[in-house]
């Protein structure tokens, strides 16, 4: 086999390994785990509870998340936190990508291993 093809094959293999390690946004996953999981369960479980339209509605209706968590001090602090605000867009994308009818199912990786609560 010509060297160039060997090199190209190796390159493509490495690239696809890279992709399989990042099938979802791990920053969003970690943010949800830190801020929301204590009440809502793992980030994937949480994402599955509602559909994409609902996620969009809760995230893009001004003051909605604050209102829902009004009587839950820890929840209110989470949705008001700087960390949440900084990652809000990524979180919404993550929740939508893994929402109720998305059909996505996750196996094991370094962050997550199939437990749903
Ligand atoms: C201290 C517990 C707590 C934390 C932390 C918390 N929540 Fe909640 N959240 C709740 C409770 C309880 C409800 C249900 C309120 C109701 O039905 O009146 C709720 C409801 C919601 C809902 C409405 C849809 C649903 O599933 O009922 C959304 C969306 C939501 N939370 C998003 C978040 C996000 C995003 C975070 C993290 C940034 C977060 N929550 C952190 C307790 C929490």
Residue-range domain boundaries for the chain: 25-107
Residues of the chain with pLDDT under 70: 1, 9-22, 114-117
Strand stretches in the chain, DSSP E? none
Which long-range contacts (C-beta less than 8 Å, at least 24 apart) are formed by 109-114? 109/21, 111/26, 111/29, 111/30, 111/33, 112/29, 112/42, 112/43, 112/44
Distance 116 CA to ligand 1 centre (A): 16
pLDDT, tens digit, 9 for 90 and up, residues 13-32: 655 555 555 589 999 999 99
Tokens coding 98? 């893994």
Distance 88 CA to ligand 1 centre (A): 14
pLDDT of residue 92: 98
Q: What is the pTM of this model?
A: 0.84
Answer for the pair 24, 75: CB distance below 8 angstroms, yes or no. Answer: no
DSSP 99: S
Q: What is the mean pLDDT of the chain?
A: 88
Distance 99 CA to ligand 1 centre (A): 15
| C-beta of 39 in contact with ligand 1 (< 6 A) | yes
């Amino acid at each position: 086999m010509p060297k160039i093809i060997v090199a190209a094959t190796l390159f493509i293999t490495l690239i696809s390994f890279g992709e399989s390690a990042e099938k979802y946004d791990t920053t969003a996953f970690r943010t949800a785990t830190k801020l929301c999981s204590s009440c809502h369960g793992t980030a994937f479980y949480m994402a599955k509870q509602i559909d994409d339209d609902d996620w969009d509605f809760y995230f893009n209706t001004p003051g909605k998340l604050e209102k829902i968590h009004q009587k839950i001090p820890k929840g209110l602090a989470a949705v008001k936190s700087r960390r949440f605000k900084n990652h809000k867009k990524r979180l919404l994308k993550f929740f939508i990508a893994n929402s109720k009818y998305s059909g996505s199912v996750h196996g094991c990786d370094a962050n997550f291993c199939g437990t749903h609560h």
